[in-house]
């Protein structure tokens, strides 16, 4: 397996920066939902997992967690199509509950818009979004996002939950891929 150092163009967000921003977001959510009796964090698999597990440890009020997995129809490797199918649904009813959707990154916004529509139909008491990263320049559909970790430029990133062809989610930082070098590392030598 090629080591990421060969195609890491830069560390965009360090482990320390992630830690301190996630702490701030956790504190903000704890304040905003201090009176909530039914808070549930809904994590979109798989990219949001590292963010969720760090974020929940910074939230000081009682809350539940749930997971949802969605697949984009006909999407290319690095972009989504706009139509999503639920491949794993929530295990609990979110009716009349305060829901925060926890995402790794918003790109075109199509994935998020579809998931919000699905969840909204279940009539939660409230529904907000908390995303670690926001590639705002790429937005094609308007979605309202209450909590944003970092707004980033239009570069393909990996690490801290985000994958590069399903790998490298474990890296403790968010890095930018050097596409040219990455392409070359995938060609096996004779």
Range list of H helices, 121-177: none
Smallest gap from residue 176 Cβ to Mg ion (A): 17
Q: Which does 102 bind (CB under 5 to 8 A by kind): ligand IMP, Mg ion, none?
A: none
- Strand positions, DSSP E, 2-140: 8-13, 39-45, 64-72, 84-88, 98-106, 126-134
Q: Which is nearer to Mg ion, 33 or 102 (CB)?
A: 102
Per partner kind, with CB cut-offs from 5 to 8 A, the member of ligand IMP, Mg ion, none near residue 156 is ligand IMP
Question: Does residue 107 carry a catalytic annotation?
Answer: yes
- Would you tell me which residues interact with Mg ion (CB under 5 A)? 47, 104
Show the tokens assigned to 87: 């491949």
β-partners of residue 11 are 175
Q: How far apart are CB 30 and ligand IMP at their closest, in Å?
A: 25
Local structure of 122: helix, strand or coil: coil
Look at residue 31 and give its three-state secondary structure: helix
Nearer to ligand IMP, 33 or 111 (CB): 111
Binding of ligand IMP at residue 42 (CB under 6 A)? Answer: no
104 contacts ligand IMP (rule: CB under 6 A): yes
DSSP secondary structure letter of residue 136: G
If the CB atoms of residues 54 and 107 are measured against ligand IMP, the closer one turns out to be 107
The token pair that represents 58 in the structure block: 């910074």
Q: Are 36 and 98 in contact (CB under 8 A)?
A: yes
Residue 7 has a CB neighbour count (10 Å cut-off) of 22
Which range in 22-30, 57-65, 99-107, 181-189 contacts ligand IMP by CB under 6 A?
A: 99-107
Query: Interface residues with ligand IMP (CB under 6 A)?
Result: 47, 80, 103-112, 156-158, 162
């Amino acid at each position: 397996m090629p080591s990421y150092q060969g195609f890491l163009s830069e560390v965009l967000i360090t482990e320390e920066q992630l830690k301190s921003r996630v702490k701030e977001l956790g504190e903000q959510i704890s304040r905003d939902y201090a009176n909530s009796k039914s808070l549930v964090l809904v994590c979109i698999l798989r990219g949001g997992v590292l963010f969720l597990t760090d974020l929940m440890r910074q939230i000081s009020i009682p809350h539940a967690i749930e997971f949802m997995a969605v697949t984009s129809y006909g999407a290319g490797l690095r972009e989504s199509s706009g139509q999503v199918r639920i491949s794993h649904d929530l295990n609990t009813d979110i009716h009349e509950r305060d829901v925060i959707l926890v995402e790794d990154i918003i790109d075109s916004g199509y994935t998020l818009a579809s998931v919000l529509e699905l969840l909204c139909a279940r009539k939660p008491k409230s529904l907000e979004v908390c995303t670690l990263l926001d590639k705002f320049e790429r937005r094609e559909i308007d979605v309202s996002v209450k909590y944003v970790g970092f707004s980033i430029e239009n570069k393909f990133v990996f690490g801290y939950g985000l994958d590069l062809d399903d790998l490298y989610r474990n890296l403790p930082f968010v890095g930018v891929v050097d596409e040219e070098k990455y392409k070359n590392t995938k060609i096996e030598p004779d």
